[in-house]
Structure 1
């Protein structure tokens, strides 16, 4: 591959990352067909791969892709003459002008998220479908996010699309009541997009800033849309406080750097201040008689405690355990209980935490973070052979290169088995 070909390939990859969601959402808004939108967008990117190395990258790649995808969609509709109503629409002139905003959601991508999060779909299907169409995640990436086999996730997405077609769910701006009814699914979507970006489950890049930035962008838009929704503010606070640490998250050598070892001077202070302000706002709202905090608000508060400490040793672990106690009452999931046990280890010691973690083994055996936490606790109580085995299992279960490097170093520091 020549340098010019390499530059074009890099440009296509960047444009795919930046423009995929816009192209798919715009096509879905115009044609009202999710399968057609996804297929036409894919066709447009295939055309880019074929033509850009010969013709050069266009001055406005996003506009080129949007126009090409719309033409591909029209071509598909013309070929499907059995769909009479859409066949007639195919002969209409191309009109790429944005529609007049209708309803409370006037961003194509957010509008598509709310469409995919229709109550007729299960929560799992809503999240998976939107991650595929808006986040641009592969089926394999979504499957890892849900801790299910890839074939299961592919079937889930296919069934979700079929159900949208069968129920004739329109691609339109939802009413205010629709927005509030579907909010939990939308928040879950944005959260999973962010999580996949912050610690990628596969690929050579341990962190995918394109996904974290897109999730935060969507979070800001949702915050503007629903300024009085505490969980919207909570999720945005959680994301910005987490993303503030991104610059210190991976070492120069490509190894994961855990929170206690990070250079806090490398954190993005503007994001930290933004997150703290959102958390304080929610605390004031609750104190003023507002609704009690939900899952994202409590997670944001936990992250606020971490980022308020000038050093790891100054962390108020007792406050963190108290916040996890409240979180467990509304979300007693195994992962929340695992994270609570990690905090308990800092307050009551690793032996107490180890007893709690052991009880989660059967449920979380396929979750790499469980084995990483178990390995660390076993190391701290001197059970080196068992710790080594847990590190091996954690390394086996994660594909993130930075995390594998960190876990391998920690395992090798154990020395000979005891």
Structure 2
């Protein structure tokens, strides 16, 4: 098995292994450290020795031994090693069907943690994102995010939070953070913030899987349904999003015959049902917008006035600078690029997005539509300098070169 496939396997197993460790031994921070050591051992050994018959059980066994070694070396452990050994003999295999990932997800979203800490910790423990990737998703400095994750781990440890799915009432309280976490994990997988690849299908698959699990628990919740529909409708376009070199292809230029019709049908059915029977929420609105795009036979036949109306409603109930960026593009398609540029002007004063590459990229696109090639080229180059994604850099530089 190539190293890349081993990396994908380890990423998928990591939250499952951590969930088992925390459920059996407690001490979230110690369990995560042990899991990371087990992952490192696997990454070093498996390429040469081969994948074990039960890789998940192998990781749990190695991590458990790391925990036992750590507790043995602590003078104040007071018998924790004996308790742990009684609960989890290192050689006992773990049932393949047992998956504590969803429980881990709700643990990370415990109300004892602040909402930003809930999201950051879950992205790290369940989504497998690095601290740098999480910081980019939050539009925050990496050092700040590292401190936030560390404090969240210590809070779980000091609060003795049990590892179990919460009761129904408390589960509903945590749902907003859970959905936002899954949304961010999916977005990081769909458009990676850094690195050589634009997309990380392992993250999008895991986000969709976990969202299906949350919907299984809360089948009547419209926003859970809306988020699942949004993911499916967005991920349906993934096969057509890049060329052979991995460079992004804009939505208007994608080969729509490559879109997943199965995912589109499922996403449209889910959001249609949710809009008919649940209170309106931002995920449902975003899913409705995605459905309008996906159901259009071609870019030229897109119902842009409907998309403008949906974005206007979304900005009223869930204002966000990224929503404004997308709203501006839609307005430009209906009322002209200058109208879209006018909507972007206030974002220069918004610290969350003023220096973000997407603001410059959208400005470049709208200037290009308006025929101002010099301004468009300047904005594309600015965006290329600000992004840490190499595929996006290539794309933006190519757009700028085309306008020389």
| TM-score interval, normalised by the smaller of the two chains | over 0.9
2:368 is matched with 379
- Offset at 1:302? 0.3
- Offset at 1:279? 1.2
Gaps of 5+ in 2: none
- Offset at 1:401? 2.4
1:83 is matched with 77
* Larger CA deviation: 163-172 vs 131-140: 163-172
Q: Deviations over 1:260-286 (max 9, x none)?
A: 11100000110000000011101221x
1:151 is matched with 143
How many pairs were matched up?
Answer: 399
Aligned residue among 37, 42, 45 for 2:39: 45
Conservation of the 8 A alpha-carbon contact between 1:250 and 1:402? no
3-state secondary structure, aligned to 2:349: coil
Aligned residue among 162, 187, 193 for 1:170: 162
2:305 is matched with 318
Aligned residue among 283, 292, 311 for 1:305: 292
- Offset at 1:116? 0.9
Residues of 2 paired with 1:284 and 1:68: CA distance?
50
1:198 is matched with 190
Q: Deviations over 1:167-216 (max 9, x none)?
A: 22222221111110100000011111100000111122211000000000
Residues of 2 paired with 1:50 and 1:284: CA distance?
52
2:263 is matched with 271
1:4 is matched with none
Aligned residue among 389, 396, 401 for 1:400: 389
Equivalent positions of 1:276-295 (< 5 A) are: 276-285=268-277, 290-291=278-279, 293-295=280-282
The answer to whether residue 212 in structure 2 is matched with residue 220 in structure 1 is yes
Residues of 2 paired with 1:340 and 1:396: CA distance?
24
Residues of 2 paired with 1:10 and 1:302: CA distance?
35
3-state secondary structure, aligned to 1:360: helix
3-state secondary structure, aligned to 1:37: helix
Q: Deviations over 1:324-344 (max 9, x none)?
A: 111111111222112111110
1:141 is matched with 133
Residues of 1 paired with 2:247 and 2:85: CA distance?
55
Residues of 2 paired with 1:171 and 1:255: CA distance?
43
The answer to whether residue 242 in structure 2 is matched with residue 242 in structure 1 is no
Residues of 1 paired with 2:73 and 2:233: CA distance?
50
Structure 1 runs (4+) greater than 4 angstroms displaced: 95-99
Residues of 1 paired with 2:113 and 2:380: CA distance?
38
TM value normalised by structure 2: 0.94
Conservation of the 8 A alpha-carbon contact between 2:187 and 2:204? yes
2:17 is matched with 23
Residues of 1 paired with 2:320 and 2:3: CA distance?
42
1:3 is matched with none
3-state secondary structure, aligned to 1:275: helix
